[in-house]
Structure 1
Amino acid sequence: MDYDSIYDYRETHSDFRELICEHQGTELYQEIIHYMNWLYPKWNSNLGIGYGASEFILTAIQNLEGISDFSSENRQTNLETLYEQLSFWYARTKEWYQSTLKENMYDKFKASFIDFEYLDDICDFEHDKLYSAFVKKEMSKIYYEF
Structure 2
Amino acid sequence: MLNQFHFEEFIENREMHMDYYTVMEQYNETELLNEILHFMDIAFPEWKSNKGIGTWAGEFVLSIIENNEYLDDRDEYTFKEMLTNLYIELADRYSDMQVEYSFAFDDRLISQFNFDKEFELKENEHLSFEEYSVFYDMLFLEYKNEKLEKVTYNFKDDLIY
Q: TM-score, normalised by structure 1?
A: 0.87
The answer to whether residue 123 in structure 2 is matched with residue 118 in structure 1 is yes
> What amino acid sits opposite 2:10 in the alignment?
Y
8 Å CA contact 1:69, 1:78 repeated in 2: no
- Structure 1 residue 119: Cα displacement: 5.4
Partner SS, residue 14 of structure 2: coil
User: How do 1:1-146 residues align onto structure 2 when only pairs under 5 Å count?
Assistant: 7-8=10-11, 9-69=13-73, 74-115=78-119, 117-118=122-123, 120-122=125-127, 123-146=132-155
Give the gaps of 5 or more residues in structure 2.
1-5, 156-161
Q: Whole-Å Cα distance in 2 between the matches of residues 47 and 143 of structure 1? A: 11
Q: Whole-Å Cα distance in 2 between the matches of residues 74 and 145 of structure 1? A: 29
- Structure 1 residue 137: Cα displacement: 0.5
Q: Whole-Å Cα distance in 1 between the matches of residues 42 and 113 of structure 2? A: 32
> What amino acid sits opposite 1:129 in the alignment?
M
> What amino acid sits opposite 1:140 in the alignment?
E
RMSD of aligned residue pairs (Cα, Å): 2.2
Q: Deviations over 1:83-124 (max 9, x none)?
A: 001111101111110111122322221011243533534522
8 Å CA contact 1:119, 1:127 repeated in 2: no
Q: Whole-Å Cα distance in 2 between the matches of residues 138 and 70 of structure 1? A: 42
> What amino acid sits opposite 1:7 in the alignment?
F
Percent of residue pairs identical: 27
Higher Cα radius of gyration: 2
Residues 121, 144 of structure 1: CA spacing in aligned structure 2 closer, same or farther, 3 A cutoff? farther
Give the gaps of 5 or more residues in structure 1.
none
- Structure 1 residue 70: Cα displacement: 5.7
Q: Whole-Å Cα distance in 2 between the matches of residues 54 and 44 of structure 1? A: 9
Partner SS, residue 25 of structure 1: coil
